[in-house]
Amino acid sequence: MPIQLLWGDDSAALERAIQTVIDKDVDPCWASVNVSRLDGSESAQARQALEEAITPPFGGGARVVLLQRSPFCNACPSELAERFEGALDGIPDSTHLLLCNPAKPDGRLRTTKALMKRVKAGAASERSFKLPAVWDGAGQRQLVERTAHELNLKLEPAAVDALIDAIGSDSARLTMELQKLALHAESNGEARISAKAVETLISGLSTNALQVGDALLAGDPGQAIALLDALIDVGEPALRVVATLTGQIRGWLWVLLLEQQGERDVAVIAKAAGIGNPKRIYVMRKQLQGRSPQRCLNLLGRLLDVEAALKRGAQPGDAFRDGLLG
């Protein structure tokens, strides 16, 4: 496929897809001249990508031109748009032009429209690599299962849940930990990665962030701040902690509201709350006994204050203390 449009914030999965194309179609003997990695944030490199894309590969195999932060489907200047449209018909079948951008393509742009016509005609392709939100349990399950499949690994069902609890939506770390778990399983002669191995080998920062939420729910802000300080000290991004806590508390709120309305079906509650494993509802019910939806709403409001302070440039420790203790 001469042109591939790859977008989304799952950089680990996107890089695996890029490497798959290179490994499959580029002759290793000619890789040094037939693989180009360029940065589309510089207009000169974006123009260079188009020039290289219409140049046939040297030697055997295909040419791969990778343009990170591609501008062609996201805020493309008119001069570049004209060059792009002019180059589309000149790209040989032996060349792969990979256009990558974290943002979704802007369907209003003429360059995007021109490329989408080729996607519909089978002359180009589009793939999204979007990370699930921290409260999207089903999406996180799909992320774990898809990553394991791409790495040719088999997981016990309980291991999927354990990885979600330990890592959440951190795709790069998930890939690294799965590779480590695969070596552990192989050394022990195990055909599948077990939940016990996950719990033994992975110390999950995401789990610690969830423990912060548990402390807040229990009315122990001092313990919550101590856990937050530990997370910050090991380099966990403050906004990621806020996102994890927001997802956790939003899930609690859904459970409380639905039970307040008389809903008892755990599958219905889990789906509404974005929780991939309905069995977790039983645990959450015990955890939430005696709690009111208003408690969760108050916590969400405080987290919103923390997020606002962080985005205004406050130090993480100060933002959490002022927002949660104020």
Intra-chain end-to-end CA distance of the chain, in Å? 57
Co-location of 115 and 27 in the same domain: yes
Residue 35 CA to residue 62 CA, distance in Å, equals 9
Considering only 175-179, 268-272, 274-278, which range has the smallest mean pLDDT? 274-278
Among 93, 110, 128, the domain boundary falls at 128
Co-location of 30 and 101 in the same domain: yes
**Residue-wise pLDDT tens digits, 62-101:** 999 999 999 999 988 999 999 999 998 899 999 999 999 9
Please say if the pLDDT value at position 202 is more than 80: no
Domain coverage including residue 210: 205-325
- Ranges 242-251, 279-288, 306-315, most confident: 306-315
Co-location of 177 and 153 in the same domain: yes
Mean pLDDT of the chain: 88
Co-location of 232 and 253 in the same domain: yes
Co-location of 66 and 158 in the same domain: no
Co-location of 240 and 285 in the same domain: yes
- Number of independent structural domains in the chain: 3
Among 149, 176, 201, the domain boundary falls at 201
Residue 298 CA to residue 305 CA, distance in Å, equals 11
Co-location of 262 and 298 in the same domain: yes
Among 77, 109, 128, the domain boundary falls at 128
Structure tokens at 315: 């130090």
CATH number of 233's domain: 1.20.272.10
The predicted model scores a pTM of 0.62
CATH number of 190's domain: 1.10.8.60
Maximum CA extent, the chain: 72
Q: What is the DSSP string of 145-200?
A: HHHHHHTT--B-HHHHHHHHHHHTT-HHHHHHHHHHHHHHHHHTT-SSB-HHHHHH
